[in-house]
């Protein structure tokens, strides 16, 4: 008994609970198809116009990176160290790290990021970011979904919904997160979008994805089981031919079945050269740290995954430096060389021109103390950057005041940030919508402007 691929996929829909994130694939609205045609929510879709980017790699630093200690130097803050600020008299706190011009562009970067600093000619640094909330969970939701108050689909889910996938054997949206971040799985959830667009979380270790490994002893035994289930599923579907959601579920399981074959190869780094390992700062055989995440991200990207997000740490022991700003050192060391290695590797493989790399955090930190050696949360100003497809490298956009407390020039709200990412992928953010509960929803809600000055 040797079932076809279609039989295998149909049997999976009725006979397995493999990959919960793919179980609830529903109909995608407004896709325009022939009457009675089977719906494929992951089929490739064109954008509203030709986009510069084919894919996104998003690097999220959890906890709130201090901009005035990394990418936004403040000499006035150093001069005013110890003096009372306007925040209840709390003293200003100078950065303990030095800044220096990097690359031919001369953009100043902290000594915390020497490797990323060396790549500044390829990076557009945005020093004028603003978000709507000062709490970690709400700000993390805002950066990921555009909403700080209610659950909405994540950025990666919107990209998957808009573009579909280039590789049916892999998810269109993958999340590499060693720990659960603030906001939990809502950070990569699909909410009211079809469930097949939510992020699939991949971990390092023996079981990177639940049920990835076959549970029966041989492929032949599995084929026999699937053939039996196929007969049951066909009978079930004949009686429910008018249920398009069932067909969509069957389609979503095609990815699940494909992952059993394709994902182990993605995660196998034995064929990567010693030079590549050294570029990322990854010890051969290791699956720990941000270096592993960055190298896996490149392998996913080159195999057609539309959106890959890397979250460096979870909701504790992160960049949240209330009591000890020096904790930034270990977190920067974890990500600095791997990020630079990723940028260089993408360039060497000809992928930099059509891959958008986004680095961000949920908010910044205050110029005054929260404890003698730490800073508090600040949503009014922080830094992010973009590189790659359609981005002007070697420039700085926006400006904060002399202490880094608020934006004074070319503010970029999170909605503007998202609108720009979608634009680079070929979407008018006001037209990428989904009908839900009687309203057309979009990632940028009723706001957002594309930041045209940073576009090449």
pLDDT category of residue 405 using cuts at 50, 70 and 90? very high
Domains and CATH numbers, the chain: 39-209+269-454 (3.40.720)
In this predicted structure, what is the pLDDT of residue 12?
A: 47
Kindly report the average pLDDT of the chain as a whole number.
Answer: 89
In this predicted structure, what is the pLDDT of residue 245?
A: 59
In this predicted structure, what is the pLDDT of residue 219?
A: 72
In this predicted structure, what is the pLDDT of residue 59?
A: 98
pLDDT category of residue 379 using cuts at 50, 70 and 90? very high
Bridging pattern class, strands 55-61 and 355-361: parallel
Tell me if 251 sits within 8 A of 40, measured CB to CB: yes
Tell me if 134 sits within 8 A of 421, measured CB to CB: no
Residue 35 pLDDT exceeds 50: no
Out of 32-41, 266-275, 363-372, 377-386, pick the least confident.
32-41
At residue 222, φ and ψ (nearest 5 deg) are -60, -40
- Residue percentage of the chain with pLDDT more than 90: 74
In this predicted structure, what is the pLDDT of residue 241?
A: 64
Residue 13 pLDDT exceeds 60: no
Residue 439 pLDDT exceeds 90: yes
Residues in CB range of 271: below 8 A, 6 or more apart: none
- Alpha-carbon Rg for the chain in angstroms: 23
- The model's pLDDT over 166-180, given as tens digits with 9 standing for 90+, comes to 998 999 999 999 999
- The model's pLDDT over 424-438, given as tens digits with 9 standing for 90+, comes to 999 999 999 999 999
Alpha-carbon distance 101 to 89, whole Å? 33
In this predicted structure, what is the pLDDT of residue 23?
A: 39
Residue 237 pLDDT exceeds 80: no
Total-model pTM: 0.89
Place of tokens 């990666």: 156
- The model's pLDDT over 251-292, given as tens digits with 9 standing for 90+, comes to 566 666 678 778 999 999 999 999 999 999 999 999 989 999
Query: In the predicted model, what is the mean pLDDT of residues 195-224?
Result: 80
pLDDT category of residue 209 using cuts at 50, 70 and 90? confident
DSSP string across 236-256? HHHTTTT-HHHHHHHHHHHHH
In this predicted structure, what is the pLDDT of residue 67?
A: 98
In this predicted structure, what is the pLDDT of residue 39?
A: 59
In this predicted structure, what is the pLDDT of residue 246?
A: 63
In this predicted structure, what is the pLDDT of residue 217?
A: 72
Q: How many CB atoms lie within 10 A of CB 327?
A: 18
Instruction: List the one residue out of 45, 37, 29 whose CA is nearest residue 166.
Output: 45
- The model's pLDDT over 291-317, given as tens digits with 9 standing for 90+, comes to 999 999 999 999 999 999 999 999 999
In this predicted structure, what is the pLDDT of residue 251?
A: 59
Query: In the predicted model, what is the mean pLDDT of residues 109-115?
Result: 98
255 token code pair: 């990815």
Tell me if 237 sits within 8 A of 246, measured CB to CB: yes
Tell me if 137 sits within 8 A of 144, measured CB to CB: no
């Amino acid at each position: 008994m040797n079932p076809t691929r279609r039989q295998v996929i149909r049997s999976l829909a009725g006979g397995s609970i493999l990959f919960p994130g793919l179980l609830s694939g529903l109909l995608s609205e407004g896709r325009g198809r022939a009457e009675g045609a089977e719906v494929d929510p992951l089929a490739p879709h064109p954008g509203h116009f030709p986009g510069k980017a084919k894919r996104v790699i998003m690097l999220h630093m959890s906890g709130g990176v201090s901009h005035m200690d990394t990418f936004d130097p403040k000499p006035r803050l150093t001069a005013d160290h110890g003096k009372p600020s306007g925040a209840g008299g709390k003293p200003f706190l100078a950065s303990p790290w030095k800044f220096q011009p990097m690359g031919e562009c001369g953009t100043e970067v902290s000594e915390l990021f020497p490797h990323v600093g060396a790549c500044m000619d390829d990076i557009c640094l945005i020093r004028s970011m603003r978000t709507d909330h000062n709490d970690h969970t709400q700000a993390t939701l805002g950066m990921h979904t555009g909403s700080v108050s209610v659950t909405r689909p994540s950025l990666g889910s919107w990209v998957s919904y808009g573009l579909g996938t280039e590789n049916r054997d892999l998810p269109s949206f993958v999340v590499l997160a060693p720990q659960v971040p603030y906001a939990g799985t809502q950070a990569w959830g699909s909410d009211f979008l079809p469930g097949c667009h939510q992020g699939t979380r991949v971990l390092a270790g023996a079981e990177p994805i639940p049920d990835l490994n076959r549970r029966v002893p041989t492929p032949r035994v599995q084929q026999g089981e699937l053939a039996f289930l196929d007969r049951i599923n066909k009978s079930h579907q004949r009686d429910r031919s008018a249920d398009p959601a069932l067909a969509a579920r069957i389609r979503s399981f095609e990815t699940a079945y494909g992952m059993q074959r394709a994902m182990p190869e993605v995660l196998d780094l034995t064929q990567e050269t010693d030079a590549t390992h050294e570029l990322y700062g990854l010890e051969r055989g290791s699956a720990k740290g941000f270096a592993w995440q960055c190298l896996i991200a490149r392998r996913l990207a080159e195999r057609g995954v539309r959106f890959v997000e890397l979250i460096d740490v979870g909701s504790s022991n992160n960049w949240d430096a209330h009591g000890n700003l020096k904790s930034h050192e270990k977190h920067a060391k974890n990500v600095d060389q791997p990020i630079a290695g990723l940028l260089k590797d993408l360039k060497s493989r000809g992928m930099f021109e059509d891959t958008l790399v986004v680095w961000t955090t949920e908010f910044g930190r205050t110029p005054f103390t929260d404890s003698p050696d730490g800073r508090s949360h600040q949503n009014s100003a922080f830094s992010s950057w973009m590189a790659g497809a359609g981005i002007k490298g070697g420039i700085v956009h926006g400006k904060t005041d002399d202490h880094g407390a608020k934006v004074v020039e070319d503010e970029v709200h999170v909605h503007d940030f998202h609108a720009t990412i979608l634009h680079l992928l070929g979407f008018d953010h006001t037209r990428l919508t989904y009908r839900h509960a009687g309203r057309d929803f979009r990632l940028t809600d009723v706001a957002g402007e594309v930041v045209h000055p940073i576009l090449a």
